């Protein structure tokens, strides 16, 4: 199968969706002639024109308001926030309007909008341009939150998000844009709310999100050389969480390690841990659950400090070893 980069897979999904449905349009800061801050939109403006690939003013709140209004009236807007950190300026429209309108109008109005959010550390962009904020939005009923980790999932989950009558937030890790992988040429869907088992194992379960699921796979390969069999689950969807896949794995392995880049405190790992503790799966645990998350601090600009502030492959290996020793 042919290979595309993560960015190319997103662009292809956008192009196919816009060809298939004239209601779909892309807008945001520098998505037009410039091709997107990270080069994702590329030549889409030349293919579809400036009425469907729209450069906007620097006003995230205004952009998000336009997206909500367009979605309510039947359009399928795809809004790109240049850095996910800037979504803080659009919180009112996303959290108080997009998330609640369908409920408040008894289903008579829907908000089928997609918000693309480049996020994560590793580019030396410092504290205001490197955060992982997905847990904020997973706290809000009415929103769906996804984090595709591969080019295949980036395309398929974006197309699934465009089919959804609800607002969907896609957090795209900036370090993934240049990664490559097999991507079918046709338009296909990867279901929202379904995790993927990236590697099967018997000794412990490692649940990862976004880039961390790839780091977990690399760590599992190293652990296998030591005789430790780790099962790796790429969560893919943060809300709704695919608890059934996680639960089945933990029942088999008896150990759970959750790895995510967002700040550890009150993060995705805490929610998964609580779900395990409140279910019968707790009885299958042979060791306490471990969480690896980001440090409780603003992300540093210094590259070595930045790296130390979020989990790395070595950290996952060390945590897995410690978990395996808990007999």
Q: Which residues are catalytic?
A: 60, 129
Distances (CA, A) of 97 to 58, 110, 166: 20, 11, 12
Return the residue matching tokens 């896949």: 245
State both tokens at 193: 């709310």
Buried b (16+ CB within 10 A) or exposed e, 90-106: beebbbebbbbbbeeee
Helix (H, G, I), strand (E, B) or coil at 211: helix
Query: What are φ and ψ of residue 42, in 5° steps?
Result: 50, -120
Q: How would you classify the pairing of strands 196-199 and 168-173?
A: unpaired
What is the number of other CB atoms lying within 10 angstroms of the CB of residue 123? 15
The helix or strand, by DSSP H or E, that contains position 10, with its residue range, turns out to be helix 6-20
């Amino acid at each position: 199968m042919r290979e595309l980069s993560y960015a190319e897979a997103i662009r292809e999904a956008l192009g196919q969706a816009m060809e298939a449905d004239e209601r779909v349009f892309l807008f945001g800061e520098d998505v037009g002639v410039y091709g997107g801050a990270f080069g994702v939109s590329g030549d889409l403006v030349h293919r579809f024109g400036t009425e469907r690939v729209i450069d906007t003013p620097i006003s995230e709140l205004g952009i998000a308001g336009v997206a909500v209004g367009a979605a309510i009236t039947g359009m399928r807007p795809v809004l790109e926030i240049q850095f996910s950190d800037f979504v803080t300026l659009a919180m009112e429209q996303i959290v108080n309007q997009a998330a609640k309108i369908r409920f408040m109008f008894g289903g008579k109005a829907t908000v089928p909008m997609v918000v693309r959010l480049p996020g994560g550390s590793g580019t030396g962009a410092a504290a205001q341009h490197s955060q992982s904020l997905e847990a904020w939005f997973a706290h809000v009923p009415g929103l769906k939150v996804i984090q595709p980790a591969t080019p295949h999932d980036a395309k398929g989950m974006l197309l699934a998000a465009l089919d959804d009558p609800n607002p969907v937030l896609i957090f795209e890790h900036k370090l993934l844009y240049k990664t490559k992988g097999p991507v079918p040429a046709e338009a296909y869907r990867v279901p929202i709310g379904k995790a993927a088992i990236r590697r099967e194992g018997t000794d412990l379960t490692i649940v990862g999100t976004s880039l961390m699921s790839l780091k977990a796979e690399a760590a599992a390969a190293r652990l296998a050389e030591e005789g430790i069999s780790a099962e790796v689950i790429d969560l893919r969807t943060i809300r709704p969480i695919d608890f059934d896949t996680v639960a089945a794995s933990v029942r088999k392995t008896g150990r759970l390690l959750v790895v995510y880049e967002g700040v550890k405190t009150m993060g995705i790992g805490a929610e998964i841990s609580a779900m395990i503790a409140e279910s019968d799966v707790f009885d299958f645990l042979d060791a306490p659950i471990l969480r690896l998350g980001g440090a409780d601090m603003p992300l540093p600009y210094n590259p070595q400090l930045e790296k130390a502030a979020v989990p790395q492959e070595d950290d996952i290996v060390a945590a897995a070893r410690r978990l395996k020793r808990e007999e």
